[in-house]
A and B are shown apart, each in its own frame.
Chain A
Amino acid sequence: MKIDVVDEQNGITKLVLTGSMDINGALEVDPQFSEISKTKNKVIVDLKDVDFLASLGMRTLVSSAKSLMEKGGKLVLINPQAGVEKAIKSAMIDTIIPIASDLNAAIALFR
Chain B
Amino acid sequence: MRSWRREFFGSIAEIVAAAQWVDQIASEQKLAPHRTYALRVCVEELLINILHHGGATSPKIDLTLALIPGRIELLIEDDGKPFDVSASTPRPVNQPLERTKPGGLGIQLIHSFADRLSYARIGEKNRVVAEFLLPELVRPGLEPS
A positions within 8 Å CB-CB of B: 22-24, 27, 52, 54-56, 58-60, 62-63, 65-66, 69-70, 82-83, 86-87, 90-93, 95-97
Contacts and interface: CB of A to CB of B under 8 A. Distances in A.
B106 A54 contact: yes
Interface string B89-106: 000111111101011111
Interface of B: 12, 15-16, 19, 33-34, 37, 40-41, 44-45, 48, 92-98, 100, 102-106, 108-109, 112-113
Give chain B's interface secondary structure class: helix
Given A55-B104, A65-B97, 19 more contacts: A22-B40, A22-B44, A23-B44, A24-B16, A52-B37, A54-B40, A54-B41, A54-B106, A55-B48, A55-B108, A58-B102, A59-B103, A62-B93, A83-B34, A91-B108, A92-B92, A93-B93, A95-B93, A96-B100
B12 A23 contact: yes
Contacts of A24: 12, 16
Describe A's contact surface by its main secondary structure: helix
A54 B48 CA distance: 11
Given A22-B19, A90-B113, A82 B92 contact: no
A23 B105 contact: no
A52 B103 CA distance: 17
A91 B12 contact: no
A53 to B, nearest CB: 9
A43 B124 CA distance: 48
